[in-house]
Amino acid sequence: MIISIVAAACAVAVVLVASRLVRRLRYGVEDPDPDGPTAGHTGGMLSALFLLAFAIAIVVPWTSADSARNNTYTESQAIGEAYWAAGRLPAPTGQHVQAGLRAYTAQVRGPEWRLMRDGRLSTDGWTRLENIRREVIAFKPANDEAKDARAAALDQLAQISAARHQRAADARTTPPSGLLAVTLITGVAVILLPFISGARPRGMTLIPFGIMAALLTIGAYLTIDISHVFDGALAVKPDAFTSLQDELQRISGGG
C-alpha cells in the first residue's frame, strides 16, 4: 500500500514538473476551459480506469462465489458417501459415525454458516469431524467387508476434511483492498470531475448528470456488497447441506 501511495505521489509530481516546463518553454496554449483537451483527456482516462477496476471488482467475487458454491456440493457429496460407507460398518461404530455426520451437517448448515459471514469456521465443526475420524480409525475390522467399509469411510472423511479446508479459505477470500479503493476513488473522481474542471452544470444538464452519479454510486456499492463469498448479494447459501440433511434422513429410513 505504501508503494502505491509513493507511486501516485510521484505521478502527481511528474504532472506538476511537466506543467512548469511547458509553461517556461512557452510551448502549447493555455487550457482553462472545462471542455478543453486536458479535461477531455482526463475524463476519458478516469472513466476507463473506473470501468476497468469496476469490472475486475465484479468478476473476481463472482468467480470466487461460484467456486465456493461448487465446493459446498463437493463437501456435501463426500458426507453422503461417508454416510453410506458408515452404514456398512458393524454396530455400534456405524451408528455412531452416522450420528456424528448428521450432527456435523447440522452444525455446518446452522451456526457455522452464520460464522462464515465473518470469514471464519467454528471450532466445534473441526472437533466433530476429528472425533468421527478417530472413531473410524480406532475401529478394528473383523473381516474383509468391514475392512473395505472402513477404508471407504476414511477416504470420504479425508475428502470432507479437504473440502472443509477449502471452505475455510473461501470464507476468508475477498478482493484486494487496493482494488476496492481504486474503484471507489475513481468513481468519486468521475462524479466530481466536471466541478473540478470548472464547469457549473445547470438546468436540464443536471438530470443526466444526477442519473449517472446515482447509477455509478450503486455500482460502487455493489462491489463492496459482493466482496465476501458468504455474505451480501452473491452470498453462497447452505443449499447443498439442506439437501444433504434430507438425503441422510432418506438413507437412514432405508429409502
pLDDT tens digits, residue range 22-74? 555 555 556 565 566 666 767 788 888 888 988 999 998 899 999 999 999 99
Residues (pLDDT < 50) of the chain are none
pTM reported for the whole predicted model: 0.79
8 A C-beta contact, residue 172 and residue 83 = no
Q: Kindly report the length of the chain.
A: 255
| pLDDT given for residue 11 in this prediction | 54
Write down the H helix ranges in 173-202.
177-196
